[in-house]
Amino acid sequence: MLQSRKVLVVDDDAVVGQSIHRVLTEHGYQVRETLSGAEALEELEHQRYDMVFTDIRMPGMDGLEMAARIKVSHPNMPVVVITGYGTEAGEQRARALGVAGFLHKPLSPDMIVDNADRVLRERSETMEAIRQSALGLLHPAAAVGTPAAEAVPAVAAGKESVAKNVALFFAAPFIGLAYIVAFPFVGVWAIGKYGYKALMARK
């Protein structure tokens, strides 16, 4: 079960708001009702909610205008738009705003609860994905199941190995040159050594 299930219901028809309130409360949600978009925006400035249900046709500020304002001040807030006058243009505008759902009246209790459950589940999954992505950026090893404590020595060892290889790459010409320069002297020394031993053996 989700830890937080606070819903703000916005509808100028108090009867509709109370019906949604009753249905969601019976399923474990905490619900607050407002009668206008302005009142809802004021409520969101002072209280934290997990999602918003709003009617689309209301005096003054309609549901889509309110949804647009919510997306500016609370970009991660899911908004479900409810209407009894659904049009293709209205739905397109709602989708363009990034609303989480678009429901048509008459509403049934199952429609209300199923949409609330779906929206909050998707919100929870999205937030968890963001959290995991952040952890992966901070601790890359954790993203593939490697304990961070084990990853640090591995990274250090990798850097040390790379440094050694780079050093050998740049040193190799000088090492070869040293062998070339030293070879004649080593050869003369070896010939002299074995020649001396052969001479002493004859005596």
pLDDT, one tens digit per residue, over 17-48 is 999 999 999 999 999 999 999 999 999 999 99
Domain residues for the domain of 90 are 6-138
The encoded tokens of residue 67 equal 């949804």
Instruction: Supply the pTM of this predicted model.
Output: 0.64
Crossing angle for the helix pair 37-46 and 63-73, to the nearest 10 degrees: 20
Q: Is the CB of residue 86 less than 8 Å from the CB of residue 40?
A: no
Is 1 inside any structural domain? Answer: no
Domain total in the chain: 2
Burial class (CB in 10 A: 0-12, 13-18, 19+), 88: exposed
Is 184 inside any structural domain? Answer: yes
Clarify whether residues 160 and 132 are in a common domain: no
Residue 131 pLDDT greater than 70, yes or no = yes
Clarify whether residues 21 and 118 are in a common domain: yes
Clarify whether residues 106 and 155 are in a common domain: no
pLDDT digits (tens, 9 = 90+) for 101-117: 988 888 999 999 999 99
Provide mean pLDDT across the span 54-72.
Answer: 94
Clarify whether residues 32 and 128 are in a common domain: yes
